[in-house]
Amino acid sequence: MVMVLSPLFLVFILGLGLTPVAPAQDDYRYIHFLTQHYDAKPKGRNDEYCFNMMKNRRLTRPCKDRNTFIHGNKNDIKAICEDRNGQPYRGDLRISKSEFQITICKHKGGSSRPPCRYGATEDSRVIVIGCENGLPVHFDESFITPRH
């Protein structure tokens, strides 16, 4: 028995192979987290750094009141979602076992419309994040750890 495939069916089958797979919702939320809160190797970490980062990351329409950028290795941040570098903290959140270099950009007030003016605070802190399927998707807060 010979099977004849219609040209329309062949186009459909070929089209399935060429159609890109949309990223999973978790991947989108992780990418959004990185866009808002991750900068591996910052330059400056001063008010100008905050002005440029907030503008370039599109966090200025309207001016976001406060944003924290985490510096370092993405894998170390992801490890907070596991026991390697994190532990449970208040509900579904996780707190890091190690400190991260961070820069906090705080809106200096005035208009909530651009151009936005930010003040920078650089520090080393443990961080609290929300995770979904092993990926960080929400930055909650940071703490200065007590020195012994």
**Active-site positions?**
37, 138
**CA–CA dist 99, 4 (Å, integer):** 65
**CA–CA dist 132, 81 (Å, integer):** 8
**CA–CA dist 77, 37 (Å, integer):** 11
Backbone angles phi, psi at 94, to 5 degrees: -130, 140
For residue 132, give both structure tokens.
């979904």
